[in-house]
Structure 1
Amino acid sequence: MKPEKLDATTIVPFLASIFERRGAEDYLGEPVTMAEHMLQGAHFAEAEGAPDVLVAAALLHDVGHYTSEFGSYSPEDTEDKHHDEAGAEVLAPFFPPVLVECVRLHVSAKRFLCATDPSYYAKLSTASKHTLELQGGPMSDAEVAEFRQNPFHSEAVRVRVWDEAGKVAGMKTKQFEDYVPLLERVVRQHKAI
């Protein structure tokens, strides 16, 4: 199913299909697959007692790696492929703005954290350090100030922390289908507004 044919009743099955078909793909040279990485993000969000919408954001933050016209990441890449924007674009018609902004800003949140928290850079994996450089490196003071103007910047930072944590080889988590009711609930609540 093409993204332009999606509606509120088909978006979650579409996402489930992506996870099923492509979730076993390598994740940026990390010791986890794409699906394991995103499921771990959701796990860490739940462990902190995050609301459904942020658990969903943590689960879906990297969906742009699947939906982007630019292809998947390779350690040899010399430019950013903007999976953050691609994912947000697909999700925007169906999910609340806070979730969409968390997806759109999770790369910016890494740049923000590297600029504002001296210890954060040391927590990044090798692949994450590489992509940081492709994505513009730590933010300038002006970029930090602009990032803080986004009403959902704090939530995006939370998703980013769960994102970076989600790289644990062999970790047991729920499966995507376990999150289907949560995702459907978030879509319904958004459409009811």
Structure 2
Amino acid sequence: MSLTLSDIQHLYAAAGNALYGGEAISQREHALQAAWLAEQAGEDDALVIACLLHDLGHLLFEQGDDDLRQGLDDLHQYKVLPFLRHLLPDEVVNPIGLHVEAKRYLCQAEPGYAEALSESSRLSLALQGGAMSPEAAVAFAHQPHAQRAITLRRYDDAAKIVGMVTPEFDYFLPRLAALAK
């Protein structure tokens, strides 16, 4: 199966109000904040759109807000890839697929990173395998798109601000359409 731009827009409109994994904001707010923070920092269009869509798998596979507390990892970062590969370039898709591994990498590579994660991110980290080993971290850092995934991860971590004002989803549609294959 593949997604269209209309499908993506519909998913955020229909399911985007669901709470974001134990945080006090919605899935849509989280996506918009991540993309807006990336844009404000001057990131390229591909990374802005990767930030916008990085958790699309949660919406596509209907992860419930309570799933983390029940010990369920929906593997959203992997399951969404076949739905996006035909539509968007690797510069968008690959960082999405690596953003959870980037969290695990940063827990190994950056002192204090794990402690700074939100409670929900620490809970999901445990389900996702915890911090990488030093050897795995070296291997991760040498993958194509690893640095972009790390950058996406930092916007992901920051995009949990209750009441943050961002543009609406449609604001990002021209960029998304320009990147579509």
Report the secondary structure of 2:80's partner residue. helix
User: What is the aligned-residue RMSD (CA, Å)?
Assistant: 1.4
Question: Does the C-alpha gap of structure 1 residues 150 and 5 become closer, same or farther in structure 2, counting only changes over 3 Å?
Answer: closer
Equivalent pair of 1:102/1:155 in contact (CA under 8 Å): yes
Equivalent pair of 1:61/1:87 in contact (CA under 8 Å): no
Report the alpha carbon displacement of residue 79 of structure 1 after superposing the two structures with TM. Answer: 3.9
Q: 1:42 aligns with which of 35, 40, 43?
A: 35
Q: Which residue of 2 aligns with 1:153?
A: 146
Report the alpha carbon displacement of residue 95 of structure 1 after superposing the two structures with TM. Answer: 0.7
Question: Does the C-alpha gap of structure 1 residues 113 and 5 become closer, same or farther in structure 2, counting only changes over 3 Å?
Answer: closer
Report the alpha carbon displacement of residue 23 of structure 1 after superposing the two structures with TM. Answer: 0.6
Equivalent pair of 2:2/2:84 in contact (CA under 8 Å): no
**Aligned residues: percent identity?**
34
Unaligned runs of 5+ in 2: none
Q: Residues 149-184 of structure 1, C-alpha deviation per residue, up to 9 Å, x if partnerless?
A: 211000000000000100000110011111111100
Equivalent pair of 2:2/2:82 in contact (CA under 8 Å): no
Report the secondary structure of 1:174's partner residue. coil
- Partner letter of residue 177 of structure 1? D
CA distance in 1, matches of 2:47, 2:10: 21
Q: Which residue of 1 aligns with 2:166?
A: 173
Q: 2:111 aligns with which of 95, 118, 137?
A: 118
Select between 84-93 and 34-43 the one with higher mean Cα deviation: 84-93
Report the alpha carbon displacement of residue 82 of structure 1 after superposing the two structures with TM. Answer: 0.3
Q: 2:13 aligns with which of 6, 13, 20?
A: 20
CA distance in 2, matches of 1:5, 1:49: 30
Unaligned runs of 5+ in 1: none
Equivalent pair of 2:17/2:26 in contact (CA under 8 Å): yes
- Partner letter of residue 127 of structure 1? S
Aligned residues: 180
CA distance in 2, matches of 1:64, 1:114: 23
